[in-house]
Each structure stands twice: as structure tokens, then as C-alpha cells.
Amino acid sequence: MKKKLVCLCNMVTSAEIEAALSAGACTTEGIQNKTGAGTNCGKCLVEIDTMVDEFNRNRKPDPQQKFDF
Ligand code: FES
């Protein structure tokens, strides 16, 4: 994916958000905590939500969550 600026307020790029997603921040709140994106005006939150949803949709299922007791 091409690197672009997602959060203008905090100068956070798509590459930084993807790195945070890969490091385990798989919610919008997690991305906010890890990168600071979306913590000022909030205009970028829709794009961050979309990136989080896409990441989680494409993520391989955790084998530990296979069983629901
Ligand atoms: S553009 Fe991300 S908080 Fe303003």
C-alpha cells in the first residue's frame, strides 16, 4: 500500500498505522493510543476505522479462539 498522510493534526502516515495494527493495536482506540492519530479534530477517524476494519477482516483467525466454552 502506498504511504500517505492520514492524520494531518498529528502527522501520522498510513504506514505508521499499518505498523501499529501489525503490532497488535487492532482497534481505533489502540491506534489512537499507539500513534496519536485521531486524537485532535477527529476528521481522520473514519479513515482509521476503515483501516482497522480492513485489517481485522483480512487477519487470520486466532486458533485459540476456535473453541467457545
Ligand atoms: S486529522 Fe487526525 S485528529 Fe485531526
Give the pLDDT of residue 65.
Answer: 65
Cell numbers found for residue 24? 497488535
58 Cα to the center of ligand 1, angstroms:
25
Report all structural domains of the chain as residue ranges with CATH numbers, in order of start: 5-60 (1.10.10.1100)
pLDDT at 66: 65
Q: How many whole angstroms from 23 Cα to the centroid of ligand 1?
A: 22
SS3 of the chain: the string is CCCCEEECCCCEEHHHHHHHHHCCCCCHHHHHHHHCCCCCCCCCHHHHHHHHHHHHHHCCCCHHHHCCC
Residue ranges lining ligand 1, Cβ < 6 Å: 7-10, 37-44
Tens-level pLDDT at each residue, the chain (69 residues): 578 999 999 999 999 999 999 999 999 999 999 999 999 999 999 999 999 999 999 987 766 666 666
**The ligand 1 atom nearest the CA atom of 38:** 3
Determine the distance from the C-alpha atom of residue 12 to the mean position of all C-alpha atoms in its chain, rounded to a whole number. Answer: 11
pLDDT for res 61: 72
Confidence (pTM): 0.84
Output the pLDDT for position 56. Answer: 94
